[in-house]
């Protein structure tokens, strides 16, 4: 997919509207607890500054449906942190439209950076942002000369702040972060280096139906872990005890088993317990030895060793979702073991599709050892499904 990026456009002296994804977690004191998405956007912003653009940044933060929801959802703390990271002022305008915003944009000089308020504040009256209100998209587009989308986290949504603006601009390009997502996820789905292995975890088969089906068409192996394992196990007639299961998806699981055949790889053993908590007696059970009062909470050591041996032969690996309850130390060894293996593979393209597996890699210090860690959980899933993402489709093609 050849899309225009900021390398392909002249931004000197122009007002550049930049949709970033600064939907960062904050604690009750309004402090940012994970700045990864801010750090990931820095190369795009710095490139625009160096090329003497007038930079106008905007993002959503959380879900906002009522006036009460606005509490703690202002982007002002984000603007302050961004200012520290850029080592330059970032003017913050606490509005999403109006004369104060328009005046601030008009007063920008080349190299200046400003940010306006949470785009989801426009959802209080009729979901104008998330429903792509035509008037709102036209208004925001009127503030600038060029639109740069660098927010992969919302690329699977047709919002006023991405598709709405893009449809009203003569020049639309991807930022450097979005370019990476297109290259690594889109490129891998279209033309993977082989052997190509996928690892899918998480709780539910239903969350990843489309991903499993698409990856079965293009991957050489799909390794299954996490809570979804037990729906597949039950579909094969095994006792799963009190493990998490989607009984209404057993027929689907059987269909996927028939389609996947040898491509689908499942755990042979599990760490099981009678209670869903960390400090509880644990034993390792083979897949045909889970008792009626036990639940599976992690892959077992035999499975981890098997998965690690398979992955060492891969040229491309994509991973979405932990293979156990990694929030609990005693059930994190499967996820950590796979992460350590991926980090050690220096000649393999390794891609983490956002969400919990990505958070684990970053928090444990493996960020620099993974080829690409996606900034969009839902967007990466839909990209892995092979879907067209509206936010990417709206970017100008490179002629």
Q: Phi and psi of 132, rounded to 5°?
A: 55, 55
Which one of 144, 202, 296, 355 is the catalytic residue? 355
- Decide if pLDDT at 160 tops 90: yes
Cα–Cα distance list, 130 to 60, 108, 262, 390 (Å): 10, 28, 42, 13
Q: What tokens were used for 125?
A: 């009256």
Helices assigned H by DSSP within 20-70: 36-50
Tokens 């891969």, residue? 314
Bin 16: left if φ > 0, else alpha if -120 < ψ < 50, else beta.
beta
Helix residue ranges, H only, the chain: 36-50, 76-86, 99-106, 134-141, 165-166, 176-181, 187-190, 209-218, 228-235, 250-260, 301-311, 333-344, 355-363, 377-384, 390-393
Q: What is the pLDDT of residue 151?
A: 98
- Contacts for 304 with CB less than 8 Å, ≥ 6 apart: 333, 334, 337, 338
- 8 A C-beta contact, residue 19 and residue 37: no
CA distance 341 to 353: 17
- How wide is the angle at C-alpha 17 spanned by C-alphas 12 and 20, nearest 5°? 120
What is the arithmetic mean of pLDDT over 117-144? Answer: 96
Please, what is the average pLDDT of the chain?
A: 95
Mind listing the pLDDT tens digit for each residue in 329-388?
999 999 999 999 999 999 999 999 877 778 778 888 888 999 999 988 889 989 999 999
- Catalytic (active site) residue 97: no
Measured on CA atoms in the order 160, 165, 167, 173, is the torsion positive or negative? negative
Give the integer Cα–Cα distance in Å for 258 and 250.
12
> CB burial class (10 A; 0-12, 13-18, 19+) of residue 298?
buried
Q: How far apart are CA 33 and CA 14, in angstroms?
A: 34
Indicate if the pLDDT at residue 120 is higher than 90: yes
User: Can you give the pLDDT at residue 69?
Assistant: 92
The alpha carbon torsion through 68, 73, 77, 82 (nearest 10 deg) reads -160
**pLDDT tier at 115 (50, 70, 90 boundaries)?**
very high
Return the pLDDT at 106. Answer: 98
What is the C-alpha separation between 47 and 12, in angstroms, rounded? 11
The CATH number for 6-177, chosen from 3.40.50.300, 3.40.50.1260, 3.90.226.10, 1.10.3300.10, is: 3.40.50.1260
Structural domain spans, the chain: 6-177, 184-384
Q: What is the pTM of this model?
A: 0.91
Residues 6+ apart with CB under 8 A from 100: 93
Specify the CATH class of 184-384 in words: alpha beta
Nearest alpha-carbon partner for 392 in 90, 189, 124, 120: 189
pLDDT at 189: 87
DSSP for 231-262?
HHHHHTT---TT----GGGHHHHHHHHHHHGG
Locate 355 and state its tokens. 């969400």
- What pLDDT, on the 0 to 100 scale, is given for residue 86? 98
pLDDT, tens digit (0-9, with 9 covering 90-100), for 31-88: 999 898 999 999 999 999 999 999 999 999 999 999 999 999 999 999 999 999 999 9
Give rounded-to-5 percent helix, strand, coil for the chain. 40, 15, 40
From 3, 4, 37, 208, active-site residue = 37
Q: What confidence score (pLDDT) does residue 1 get?
A: 53
pLDDT greater than 80 at residue 280: yes
Tell me, yes or no, if the two domains 6-177 and 184-384 fold the same way: yes
Catalytic residue of the set 70, 138, 204, 263: 204
Q: Identify whether 378 is a catalytic site residue.
A: yes
Average pLDDT over residues 252-267: 96
Of these residues, 263, 378, 386, 387, which one is catalytic?
Answer: 378
Which tens digit of pLDDT belongs to each residue from 357-372? 787 788 888 889 999 9
């Amino acid at each position: 997919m050849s899309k225009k990026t900021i390398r392909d456009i002249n931004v000197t002296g122009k007002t550049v509207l930049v949709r970033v994804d600064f939907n960062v977690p904050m604690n009750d004191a309004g402090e940012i607890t994970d700045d990864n998405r801010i750090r990931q956007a820095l190369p795009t912003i710095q490139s625009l500054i160096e090329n003497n653009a007038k930079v106008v940044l905007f993002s959503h933060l959380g879900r906002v449906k009522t006036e009460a929801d606005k509490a703690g959802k202002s982007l002002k703390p984000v603007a302050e942190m961004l200012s520290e990271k850029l080592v330059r002022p970032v003017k913050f305008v606490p509005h999403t439209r109006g004369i104060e915003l328009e005046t601030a944009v008009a007063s920008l000089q080349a190299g200046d950076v400003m940010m306006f308020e949470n785009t989801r504040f426009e959802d209080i009256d009729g979901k104008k942002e998330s429903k792509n209100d035509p008037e709102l998209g036209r208004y925001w587009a009127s503030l600038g000369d060029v639109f740069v989308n660098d927010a992969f986290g919302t690329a699977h949504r047709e919002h006023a702040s991405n598709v709405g603006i893009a449809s009203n601009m003569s020049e639309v390009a991807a930022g450097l972060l979005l370019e990476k997502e297109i290259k690594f996820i889109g490129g891998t789905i279209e033309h993977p280096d082989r052997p190509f292995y996928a690892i899918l975890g998480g709780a539910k088969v239903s969350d990843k139906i489309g991903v499993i089906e698409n990856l079965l068409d293009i991957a050489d192996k799909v390794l299954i872990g996490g809570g979804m394992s037990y729906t597949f196990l039950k579909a094969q007639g095994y006792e799963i005890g009190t493990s998490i299961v989607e009984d209404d998806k057993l027929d689907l699981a059987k269909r996927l088993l028939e389609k996947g055949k040898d491509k689908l790889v499942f755990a042979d053993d599990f760490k099981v317990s009678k209670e869903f908590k960390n400090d509880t007696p644990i034993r390792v059970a083979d897949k045909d030895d889970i008792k009626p009062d036990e639940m599976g909470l992690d892959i077992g050591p035999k499975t981890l060793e098997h998965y690690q041996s398979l992955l060492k032969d891969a040229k491309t690996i994509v991973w979405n979702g932990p293979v156990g309850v990694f929030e609990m130390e005693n059930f994190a060894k499967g996820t950590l073991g796979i992460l350590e293996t991926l980090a050690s593979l220096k000649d393999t393209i390794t891609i983490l599709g956002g969400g919990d597996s990505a958070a684990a890699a970053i928090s444990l210090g493996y960020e620099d050892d993974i080829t690409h860690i996606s900034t969009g959980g839902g967007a990466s899933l839909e990209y892995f499904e092979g879907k067209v993402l509206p936010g990417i489709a709206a970017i100008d093609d490179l002629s």
